[in-house]
Structure 1
Amino acid sequence: MFLAHLHYQRPFDVVQLHVEAHRSYLETLYASGKLIVSGPKMDKSGGIILFATTDRQEVEAIISKDPYYTLDLATYEVIEFNPVKYDAKFADLYL
């Protein structure tokens, strides 16, 4: 499973100018079943995306089309992990 930790590279007010394009892109990914959860960090320094895939190349392809990436607004720290413990209601989420 993959988690991306986004780190904003521009001031928050600049990032906010593009938040609708970013969220619209994420909506297409939710509709295709590629994302589990996403959202900004409370300190406004970046965000988190949890992917519903076990394919790193797919994660990298998804990131490469994100407006935050294409506009150089954020860097993405991709973290692969093995979810060995989880609530049973999440068992079908590509675990």
Structure 2
Amino acid sequence: MHYVALLTIVDADLNAKVRPAHLDYLDKLYKENKVVMAGPFADKKGGMVIYRADSAEEAQKLAEADPVVAEGARTLELREWNPLQFPLA
């Protein structure tokens, strides 16, 4: 299952401080096949992570353990996502 984490910056200074740990965390999860894709929004107000997890509980734990969330630099909105499979029937 896929889950989308919308991460809105609420403390820019703290976000800048914690961002290297955030990127290391995402890289680790990507190598573990738990992150599908991630990146910042063009408006620089936050970013998005697409997690691959076996349950909503697992996705919640992964997202909450992200240093930018755990340290309070960003808010977290986590939603289950059902990507379309192409070609469409």
TM-score (norm 1): 0.80
Give matches, 1:1-95, under 5 Å: 1-11=2-12, 13-83=13-83, 85-87=84-86
Q: Structure 1 unaligned runs (5+)?
A: 89-95
User: Which runs of 5 or more structure 2 residues have no equivalent in the other structure?
Assistant: none
Contact 1:3/1:79 (8 A) holds in 2: yes
Tell me how far 1:86 sits from its aligned partner.
2.7
Q: How many residues align?
A: 86
Find the residue that maps to 1:44 and give its secondary structure.
Answer: coil
For residue 29 of structure 1, report the CA deviation from its aligned partner: 0.4
- 1:79 is matched by which residue type in structure 2? R
Check whether the contact 2:5–2:49 (CA below 8 A) recurs between aligned residues. Answer: yes
Q: Which runs of 4+ in 1 moved over 4 A?
A: none
CA RMSD, 1 decimal? 1.5
The separation in 1 between residues aligned to 2:28 and 2:86, in whole angstroms, is 26
